[in-house]
Amino acid sequence: MLEYQRTISKPVSLSGKGLHTGGKTTVTFHPSSQNTGILFKRVDIKDAPEIPADIDHVVDNSRDTTIGIGDVHIRQVEHVLAALYGLEIDNCIVEVDGNEPPVGDGSAMPFVEILQKAGFKEQNSPKDFLVINETITFSDKEKGIDMVVFPSDELRITFMVDYQNPALGTQYTSMYSLTDEFVREFAPARTFCFLHEVEVLHDQGLIQGGDLENAVVIVDRELSKNELRDLAARFELNHDDVVLGTNGILGGKELRFYNEPVRHKTLDLIGDLALLGVPLKAHVMAARSGHAAHVSLVKEIRKIYKKKQLTSRYQKTKAHQGALLDINAIERILPHRYPFLLVDKIVDLVPGERVIGIKNVTMNEPYFMGHFPNHPIMPGVLIVEAMAQTGSILILDALDNPEEKVAYFMGVDGVRFRRPVLPGDQLQLEIEQIRLRKNSCKMIGRAYVDNDLVCEAEMMAMIVDR
């Protein structure tokens, strides 16, 4: 069934103290037009600079997820994004009058409740789901982090944590349906941390707004009465509130779920998945991961989305087997035509990284009439040109309006020809992007025949208007 995008019906606001500054901050959610996504605005700064909530604008992920443009940042956006994503809101403007939204109770529930009061409005444009058809993996062996993404007909999450602490130990949770489970089972899960982390962060001038009402603090060392008294003074808390509960939690706070910590980790993952910019249909399995790993995984998934965007934009009919872009799609991207179009199809493309193209060399090539009679060899300069054209597809894919641009190659270095290319050969053209700037690019190209390297070169191009 076709599902349509939605926004909220009216503006709503929520005020409270910021976790790190401790000062009052307000977040206001506004309806937004279809196909605009989630956009943050710093209304406390002149001209209210805008920051798109996508993976390309993540500037820090060490303790939370921070997005920014230039010197303008908004930190700890993951709970706001989780609320929007969990309520399946596609388009919304989020105004913040500081560098962080209010912390609330440390969960996403305060944002969920205010958004539910705003109500939802269905829009005319269909949702652009990213459907995963292949297995994606991410691993960090040093930190013991493993993440795997499988195909699924809707978003499912399985999460496991394993802490060397008796108050936590090993915890596991699964979310089978975002629509049915998010609000009830995951949005209320509060952030948690270990006592030693709290002390370090506070000494660094952070979490000035942190208290026992917006975080679950796990005690990971023995505490004397004097140390409890010092903690109360440090955080300006009532001494009677700072006690060591029998459950290993500072203040003896009761958990909302028996496995609330791992549910909050799942909440954070949902917020970080929102940085894709589109709803995801996949089963994500995560073990011991945090924001940094989530961002790395989202970057890998984003590459698949950009590849599918490229295909749907230029491949108007079903491509031939084994092709990502066939010759018809290539002609929509490149300005070259017969007899100088030297790429027959694109078989793989990782946006911003590499592209693989195919050139079939036949006896019908016009240059064989003179290069050379009775001894046909493909001119080396045309092999380099074929690599350059393949690289142009990688460059132009990174632009918003590639149909209006063309790549002029302004330098070729380190060219080496390893063996002749003859009629009947199939050139596999592999281009790797080294550096991309606003108006120029540097790439390394390699051409193979039957896995044998026949040519390599370092190429530089300038991007200009057609």
CA atoms within 13 A on the CB side of 151: 3
Neighbours of 213 (CB within 10 A): 14
Taking the C-alpha atoms of residue 75 and residue 302, their distance in angstroms, rounded to an integer, is 21
Closest CA to 293 of 75, 67, 61: 61
Catalytic pick among 57, 202, 336, 371: 371
* 8 A C-beta contact, residue 170 and residue 161: yes
Closest CA to 150 of 282, 281, 305: 282
* 8 A C-beta contact, residue 361 and residue 425: yes
List phi, psi (to 5°) of 365: -60, 130
Neighbours of 119 (CB within 10 A): 11
Q: Coil, helix or strand for 91? A: coil
Is 371 designated active site?
yes
Tokens 């605005």, residue located? 41
Catalytic pick among 30, 79, 291, 294: 291
Tokens 């300038």, residue located? 462
Considering Cα of 346, then 348, then 350, then 354, what sign does the dihedral take?
negative
At 194, the amino acid letter reads F
Taking the C-alpha atoms of residue 269 and residue 179, their distance in angstroms, rounded to an integer, is 16
Neighbours of 350 (CB within 10 A): 16
DSSP readout, 261-277? Answer: HHHHHHHHHHHHHGGGS
Cβ neighbours of residue 331 closer than 8 Å, sequence gap 6 or more: 337, 341
Cβ neighbours of residue 320 closer than 8 Å, sequence gap 6 or more: 326, 345
First to last CA, the chain: 42
The two three-digit tokens of residue 135, written as one number: 């297995």
Interhelix angle 260-273/78-86, rounded to 10 degrees, is: 80
Closest CA to 154 of 120, 135, 129: 129
Note the helical H segments in 94-249. 109-118, 178-181, 195-203, 225-234
User: Which are the catalytic amino acids?
Assistant: 291, 371
